[in-house]
Chains A and B, each alone.
Chain A
Amino acid sequence: MAALDQAGMPLARSRLAAVLPGEVNLVIGLAIVLLAIAVAIAAPLLAPGDPYEQSLAARLLPPVWNERGTWEHILGTDQLGRDYLSRLIYGARVSLTIGLLTAAISGLIGVTLGTAAGYFGGRVDTIVTYLVTVRLSMPAVIVALAVVALVGNSFMTIMTVLGLLLWDQFALVSRSMTRQVVAQDYIVAAKSTGASTFKIIAREVLPNILPMVLVVATVEIASAIMVESSLSFLGLGVQPPTPSWGLMMSEGKEQIFFTSWLILPPGVALFVLILGINMIGDGLRDRLAPSE
């Protein structure tokens, strides 16, 4: 019967129920991400120690809940005797910076291309769609690995390469949203009053597609953070001794036979941050289309 219930009365039941989870997602997601940003900014205040300071005498100390653990090193120390909690806290800076700046670059490329394709249509649309197809056909992780390895793995290179790779969803979504907006009466009206193309795009199109662009931004920030951690994990991303969660996991992997808990803190941190970002995206999406 459930199938028919839904087919018959989609409104009464699902509206109410669907809006609420959207709100929950948004609130929890924002709480997680704002907390991560606060931790990243206040890292020097919050970190109990220096994330770079090595100590041969204090290598691989266990976390505080272990019987041999101490409050001096709450999450213990890594193979070089560096305070693990401090490295974890500073690692938030790497992930967030790369995530946000990469999405800024890819957003600029993708929204520009997508809006142009949706607004002008015709040949511009064909070219942009073709570029998106080409981009999707290239394996992002391998390309990023290769270019970062060849050019040299500075922070700037990683962000630029990822930014140049992860713009496809921005382009696709702003293209289809722009097409919908352009078909509206107020655009036709604006055109007939002689408003310039630039003005119409800046004043009418962009504000209208912005909410969906933000949804895509959450997806791309999350995937930039994920790809950066993969690159660093493979040893071709952020370089030691910079504390990056992916790098910490690759160092933890070396110790997996002896001190297996080392892979937990950076993994949990990555997972929770990405989950938070995705929850914001899901919450926004539910708000934009409550019936979906």
Chain B
Amino acid sequence: MLKYTVQRLFLAVAVALTVSAISFFLLRLSSDLARTLAGQNATAEQVENIRQAYGLNRPLITQYFDWLGGIFSGDFGRSFYFRKPTADLILERLPTTLLLGFLSLLVAVIVAVPFGVAAAVHRNSLVDRLALAFSALGQSMPSFWIALLMISAFGVSLRWLPISGTGSWLNFIMPVAALAFAAQPAILRLTRAGMIEALGTNYIRTARAKGLPRSLVLFKHALRNALLPVVTVSAVQLGQLVGGSVVIESIFAIRGIGYLAWESILRTDFPVIQSILLIVSVIYVLLTLVSDLLSALLDPRLRNL
């Protein structure tokens, strides 16, 4: 386990560094930062002055290592637009996005796991059909459309729920519902498939043949084994929720990092975009690291990279 942990940690650091390099070069090669900063009406000389002043005339690779070095000392650069440290901006906004992502995942798991178990136990029954239809809907309905439908119904027509901001817990109902609905299909399908597989194994047959009560066999033996991959996929889903909440945050004017990313992209605020890309990736890397280590702890067969 120690060897696996060290290897897995090493991989996580390598992935995070690679992602930081890719996001840096991708953004910088996509457009000329000096020209963006100078504005549209700037003369060639003004652009050149900015290039000098910000050190943008140095090789890109030097600038990358400068940026990376800064990050290790907590300096993520300054936002061009907000004129304050990027790290402060992100720290201000990150809790909202994490809360949104966590609540959405929680709702998705609470709905999808029991539904998936019921579908597997009563395979090909009405419950199973309903569960599959529910997951097909979640896969096929764009989350921003669901959000708009909810806004139109519960916000505009019925006036039950606020349609923007984060003033009270009521503000979170619609965004969480929209994100959870998009996150549930993967969890539901995996729970169902895992339970069907577990129910077909010999140890379940033995347990039943011994005369153990059905609920005990279902929940203690089968579900435990079926849930292991669900833990992994939930971690992945949470990572995707954090990165994928851009649209939902912008619809509901929720000031999380998704919204910040969108604003910053519209304003070509490079330091902020770069840092958000890096931080969202690092969150994903950490989540998968933790879930892999947890899985390996529970199932020694997984301790191979």
Partners in one complex: yes
**Which residues of B from 251 to 284 have beta carbons under 8 Å from A?**
251, 258, 261-262, 265-266, 268, 273, 276-277, 280-281, 284
Determine whether A45 belongs to the interface, using a CB cutoff of 8 Å to chain B: no
- How many Cβ-Cβ contacts under 8 Å join chain A to chain B? 166
Determine whether A270 belongs to the interface, using a CB cutoff of 8 Å to chain B: yes
Determine whether B40 belongs to the interface, using a CB cutoff of 8 Å to chain A: no
Residues of A within 8 A of B258 (CB): 142
**Which residues of B from 150 to 197 have beta carbons under 8 Å from A?**
151-152, 156-157, 193, 196
Indicate if the CB atoms of A142 and B280 lie closer than 8 Å: yes
A133-B15, A136-B284, A150-B268 are known contacts. Are A145 and B142 too (CB-CB below 8 A)? Answer: no
Interface string of B211-240 (1 = CB under 8 A from A): 000100110001000000000000010001
- Closest Cβ–Cβ distance, residue A215 to chain B (whole Å): 14
Residues of A within 8 A of B140 (CB): 222, 271, 274-275, 278
A17-B124, A137-B19 are known contacts. Are A256 and B200 too (CB-CB below 8 A)? Answer: no
Residues of A within 8 A of B16 (CB): 137
Partner of A138, one of B121, B157, B214, B281: B281
**Which residues of B from 118 to 139 have beta carbons under 8 Å from A?**
121-124, 136-137, 139
Determine whether B41 belongs to the interface, using a CB cutoff of 8 Å to chain A: no
Interface string of A220-246 (1 = CB under 8 A from B): 001000100110011110000000001
A3-B214, A151-B31 are known contacts. Are A139 and B247 too (CB-CB below 8 A)? Answer: no
Determine whether B11 belongs to the interface, using a CB cutoff of 8 Å to chain A: yes
In the complex, what distance in Å separates the CA atom of A10 from the CA atom of B200? 8
Residues of B within 8 A of A226 (CB): 142
- Closest Cβ–Cβ distance, residue B286 to chain A (whole Å): 10
Residues of A within 8 A of B251 (CB): 253
Indicate if the CB atoms of B265 and A236 lie closer than 8 Å: yes
Residues of B within 8 A of A267 (CB): 141-142, 145, 148-149
- Closest Cβ–Cβ distance, residue A178 to chain B (whole Å): 20
Residues of B within 8 A of A18 (CB): 124
**Which residues of B from 6 to 49 have beta carbons under 8 Å from A?**
11, 14-16, 18-19, 22-23, 26-27, 30-31
Indicate if the CB atoms of B149 and A263 lie closer than 8 Å: yes
The residue on A at minimum CB distance from B195 is A3
The residue on B at minimum CB distance from A143 is B277
Residues of B within 8 A of A133 (CB): 11, 15
Interface SS, A side? helix
- Closest Cβ–Cβ distance, residue B158 to chain A (whole Å): 12
Determine whether A180 belongs to the interface, using a CB cutoff of 8 Å to chain B: no
In the complex, what distance in Å separates the CA atom of A233 from the CA atom of B144? 8
Indicate if the CB atoms of B144 and A249 lie closer than 8 Å: yes
Residues of B within 8 A of A137 (CB): 15-16, 19, 281, 284-285, 288
Residues of B within 8 A of A149 (CB): 265-266, 268
Interface size class of A (residues with CB under 8 A): 35 or more
Partner of B31, one of A145, A150, A233, A257: A150
- Closest Cβ–Cβ distance, residue B235 to chain A (whole Å): 12
For A3, A17, A253, A278, the residue with the greatest tally of chain B CB atoms inside 10 Å of its CB is: A3
In the complex, what distance in Å separates the CA atom of A275 from the CA atom of B19? 33
Interface size class of B (residues with CB under 8 A): 35 or more
Determine whether B208 belongs to the interface, using a CB cutoff of 8 Å to chain A: yes
In the complex, what distance in Å separates the CA atom of A85 from the CA atom of B276? 39
Determine whether A14 belongs to the interface, using a CB cutoff of 8 Å to chain B: yes
Indicate if the CB atoms of A3 and B218 lie closer than 8 Å: yes
Residues of B within 8 A of A140 (CB): 243
- Closest Cβ–Cβ distance, residue A24 to chain B (whole Å): 11
Partner of B276, one of A10, A136, A142, A256: A142
Determine whether A41 belongs to the interface, using a CB cutoff of 8 Å to chain B: no
Residues of A within 8 A of B217 (CB): 3
**Which residues of A from 114 to 148 have beta carbons under 8 Å from B?**
130, 133-134, 136-143, 145-147
Residues of B within 8 A of A271 (CB): 140-142, 145
Determine whether A6 belongs to the interface, using a CB cutoff of 8 Å to chain B: yes
The residue on B at minimum CB distance from A279 is B136
Determine whether A207 belongs to the interface, using a CB cutoff of 8 Å to chain B: no
Residues of A within 8 A of B222 (CB): 3
Determine whether A12 belongs to the interface, using a CB cutoff of 8 Å to chain B: no
Interface string of A241-262 (1 = CB under 8 A from B): 0000010010011001100100
Determine whether A188 belongs to the interface, using a CB cutoff of 8 Å to chain B: no
- Contacts A236-B266, A246-B142 aside, 9 further interface pairs with beta carbons under 8 A come to A4-B208, A6-B199, A7-B204, A130-B14, A139-B244, A230-B144, A271-B140, A278-B136, A278-B139
Which B residues lie at the A interface, using CB under 8 A?
A: 11, 14-16, 18-19, 22-23, 26-27, 30-31, 121-124, 136-137, 139-142, 144-145, 148-149, 151-152, 156-157, 193, 196, 199-201, 204-205, 208, 214, 217-218, 222, 236, 240, 242-244, 246-247, 250-251, 258, 261-262, 265-266, 268, 273, 276-277, 280-281, 284-285, 288
15 A-B contacts (beta carbon < 8 Å): A3-B214, A7-B200, A17-B124, A130-B11, A138-B281, A139-B280, A143-B26, A145-B262, A146-B27, A230-B247, A233-B247, A246-B142, A260-B157, A267-B141, A282-B136
Which A residues lie at the B interface, using CB under 8 A?
A: 1-4, 6-8, 10, 13-14, 17-18, 130, 133-134, 136-143, 145-147, 149-151, 222, 226, 229-230, 233-236, 246, 249, 252-253, 256-257, 260, 263, 267, 270-271, 274-275, 278-279, 282, 292
